Amino acid sequence: MIKKRDCWKSLMFLVVLLVFVQSISFASAINIEVEKATISDVVIAEVNKPAVFDFKIKNLGPTDNFEIYSLVGIYFSPRGTFEVLGAETKNVRVEVYPDERVRSKEGIFNFVYNIKGSTGIFEDRISVSIVKIRNLFGLSADNIIIDSDSATIYIENRENVSISDAGILLSSVFFSYNANLSFSPLEKKSFSIKIDREKTKSITAGTYKLLADISIGGVTEKAESSIKYVEKTEFTTKTEKSGWIITTERITKTNEGNVPAIADIKIQRDTFSSIFTTFNVAPERVERQGLIVTYSWAAEVLPAGKLEIAAKTNYLYPIVLVILIVAVIFIIKSYLTGDVIVRKDSSFVKTKSGEFALKIRLNVRARRAVERLTVIDRLPPVVKLYDKYGVAPEKVDEKNRKILWNVNSMSAGEQKMFSYIIYSKIGMVGMFALPLASVVYDRNGKVKEANSNSAYISVSEKKE
């Protein structure tokens, strides 16, 4: 006899299965378009305030009532349903409330939401940024010089969220300060705080902590930065290098002190690279010692000012010159000594599914009569070979990724064309290089070989 519990389990399974099948067919019938505009996609982890978006919902079907919801710990406002007429586009201000579990993990939270109507369910994704109070603000301060009466402090709202009535308590060895502040998204506030000069008399130059207690919505977190106390000239030097063929070296000296001072910068180049080097500011001195050239600059820099020198070396000119010389020599040598010339080129092939595909063509021309030719081409990595050819190859070596055609003989001036198609489901970006093709042949009883040109194709040139 079958137990009642088993019967109930079977019945519940059938009900769940029926609901699932109905929901699939139900979800496929909705006919709306949704555009989202971000008002504020940031949620403060410790405060239950929403991220805000503007939804533009276009009803492509009949008049219907819709409801926005999610099944992953996210609550939406407005709650319940709202009506959108047939062919109407309705703007809806949507507030997104993550629950405590979601807010407990800082970072970007990407989730699925649904818009349900009487004829189906629209599914889309949206993301919010969960930020803790301690990471919400940036805290910094200007350097304090020995005779300063006040300190300039900066508090920056780092996120795209409005903050009202934030309690800020600042403290350091120089001062203490308390205020209630409001911030617009990404707003940076600065304010001057009076320094206790009696305290600074016994403080030596150095870097000191700047502490902040930040209170929002009854939750208090701590933040920390530093204040630099200087009483003499001080420069900071920043060096940046970028580029490969065209290289740029940028040296910046910034006066972090409280008096004008002379900043000096030196840059060295060897004799060859100095020919192709230019500067944003002409050097004051140029000294040569052996193969090294030294360029020097010196200038008076005001407090907080900077001296910036950029040296750009363009190696493109000598590289192009060398390439042209080598190419000319190669072409002349190939023309004077080659019995067979192999020309390789490629073009994009349009596919139904939009996959990356190329048609490779090999043009083999005999300058002199040759025999027993073997045309060999190599497949690039990643790609696959399409099984249709202009002339079917004698052999496809999948292990070594080679394609081979055999030709008994070719007369002087005779040309033959071979072609095939390669494709890849992996997207390609930038310049795509094709391996060299080669032809092994017999000329007057001697086995010789000829190689094709180097072939490249830019994926950005692909036309849909």
Last residue of a domain, one of 196, 212, 230: 230
Walk along the chain (464 residues) and give the pLDDT tens digit of each residue.
Answer: 444 445 445 544 443 344 443 444 344 458 899 999 999 899 988 888 899 999 999 999 999 999 999 988 899 999 989 999 999 999 999 999 999 899 888 899 999 999 999 889 999 999 999 998 888 888 888 888 777 788 898 988 888 888 888 888 888 888 888 888 888 888 898 888 898 767 666 677 788 898 888 888 888 888 888 988 877 677 889 999 998 888 999 999 988 765 688 899 999 999 888 888 999 999 999 999 999 999 999 998 887 789 999 999 998 888 888 888 888 887 777 656 678 999 999 888 888 777 888 899 999 999 999 999 999 999 888 888 888 888 889 999 888 899 999 999 999 989 999 999 988 887 766 777 889 999 999 998 899 998 988 887 777 644 43
What is the pTM (predicted TM-score) of this model?
0.42
Which of 230, 256, 273 is the C-terminal boundary of a domain? Answer: 230
Count of domains observed in the chain: 4
Residue 447 structural domain? 338-461
Q: Tell me, yes or no, whether 305 and 395 share the same domain.
A: no
| CATH number for 372 | 2.60.40.1530
Identify whether residues 119 and 207 lie together within a single domain.
no
154 lies in the same domain as 266: no
**Widest CA span of the chain, in angstroms?**
105
